[in-house]
């Protein structure tokens, strides 16, 4: 197990109530929650206590835990964290076509709102990430997911998303794209595949996570991503979600500070308080079934 990620720092502006990081992971403790498959990376020291410390430091009310592929379909660590978070966490699980509807219903009742499907490939070989589940299982699971109320979270390259746009739009469940749709920065925002993604977003057919760090190595400010971020915000801010990707698996010294990522988001959205609240708090509250926030107490 590698070291814990560096401590997070607060953003310059306090976050709105209900602010949510929609893409995070937890690992361990491995003696209690061992991995199901051998990972391609050294898993970080990132148990639920460390996750909670990050949220407190940044001022996040809520977060979404995404099942790491090395845990496979064993969601024990994630479900344990959700159960102890008093409604502050939701989960994205892994399931295969062999998973029963009864198991999916139990996951949903325990705080899982979606299943993740990965067609992104490991660097340098084109092999699937160990433990991941692909689109073929997604198609077979879609009817049960629709009945239960689960959405599909998709991690795939932008060209694959564009090629399978009709498939994704016809699943009958909400579709959430990881990592801004995993576009090719070198092709620029006029790339036809990215424009197809923008069309899906503009039509409300997909949601997109504004997670910067997997699309650029120009840490810490990612200036090459600004045109893509602007295009996504302009296309449909009602279907955007903010995400950090904490604990930044395999990024080492290039791991960002979640507080700085929020500062970039604020700068790139021009200080629009309404837009900020919509993307950080209102949109995730709608998608992830978070309970209503307590009403402020009346004062005399």
Domain range list for the chain: 20-287
Euclidean distance between CA atoms 106 and 110, whole angstroms: 6
pTM of the model: 0.95
- The encoded tokens of residue 74 equal 């064993």
Strand, helix or coil for residue 87: coil
Query: Given the DSSP bridges, would you call strands 112-118 and 62-66 parallel, antiparallel or unpaired?
Result: unpaired
Task: Output DSSP code: residue 210.
Answer: E
Could you tell me which residues come within 8 angstroms of residue 200 by beta carbon, excluding any fewer than 6 positions away?
161, 165, 168, 169, 206
The pLDDT value given to residue 81? 97
Residue 294's pLDDT is: 63
State phi, psi for 107 to the nearest 5 degrees.
-60, -45
Check: CATH 1.10.3720.10 for 20-287?
no
Residue 125: per-residue pLDDT: 65
The alpha carbon of 292 is separated from its chain's Cα centroid by a whole number of angstroms, namely 21
- What does the pLDDT read at residue 230? 98
Along the 300 residues of the chain, how does pLDDT read in single tens digits?
Answer: 778 888 999 999 999 999 999 999 999 999 999 999 888 888 899 999 999 999 999 999 999 999 999 999 999 999 999 999 999 999 999 999 999 999 999 999 999 999 999 998 877 767 888 889 999 999 999 999 999 999 999 999 999 999 999 999 999 999 999 999 999 999 999 999 999 999 999 999 999 999 999 999 999 999 999 999 999 999 999 999 999 999 999 898 899 999 999 999 999 999 899 999 999 999 999 999 997 776 554 444
- Give, in degrees to the nearest 5, the angle at Cα 50 between 256 and 9: 40
pLDDT at residue number 295: 56
Catalytic-role residue among 159, 191, 245, 266? 245
The yes-or-no answer on residue 245 being catalytic is yes
């Amino acid at each position: 197990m590698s070291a814990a990620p560096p401590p997070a720092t607060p953003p310059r502006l306090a976050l709105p109530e209900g602010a949510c990081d929609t893409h995070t992971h937890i690992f361990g403790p491995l003696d209690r929650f061992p991995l199901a498959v051998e990972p391609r990376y050294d898993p970080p020291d990132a148990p639920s206590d460390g996750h909670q410390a990050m949220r407190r430091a940044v001022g996040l009310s809520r977060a979404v835990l995404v099942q790491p592929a090395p845990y496979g379909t064993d969601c024990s660590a994630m479900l344990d964290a959700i159960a102890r978070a008093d409604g502050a966490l939701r989960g994205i699980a892994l399931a295969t076509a062999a998973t029963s509807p009864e198991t999916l219903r139990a996951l949903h009742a325990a705080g899982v709102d979606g299943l993740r499907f990965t067609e992104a490939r490991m660097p340098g070989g084109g092999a699937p990430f160990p433990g991941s589940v692909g689109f073929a299982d997604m198609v077979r699971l879609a009817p049960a997911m629709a009945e239960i109320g689960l959405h599909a979270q998709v991690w795939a390259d932008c060209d694959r998303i564009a090629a399978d746009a009709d498939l994704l739009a016809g699943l009958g469940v909400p579709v959430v794209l990881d990592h801004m749709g995993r576009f090719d920065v070198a092709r620029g925002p006029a790339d036809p595949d990215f424009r197809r993604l923008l069309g899906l977003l503009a039509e409300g057919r997909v949601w997109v996570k504004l997670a910067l760090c997997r699309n650029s190595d120009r840490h810490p400010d990612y200036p090459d991503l600004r045109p893509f971020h602007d295009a996504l915000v302009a296309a449909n801010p009602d279907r955007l979600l903010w995400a950090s990707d904490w604990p930044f698996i395999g990024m080492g010294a290039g791991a960002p500070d979640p507080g700085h990522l929020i500062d970039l988001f604020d700068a790139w959205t021009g200080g629009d308080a309404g837009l900020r609240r919509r993307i950080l708090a209102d949109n995730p509250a709608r998608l992830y079934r978070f309970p209503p926030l307590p009403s402020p107490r009346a004062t005399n």
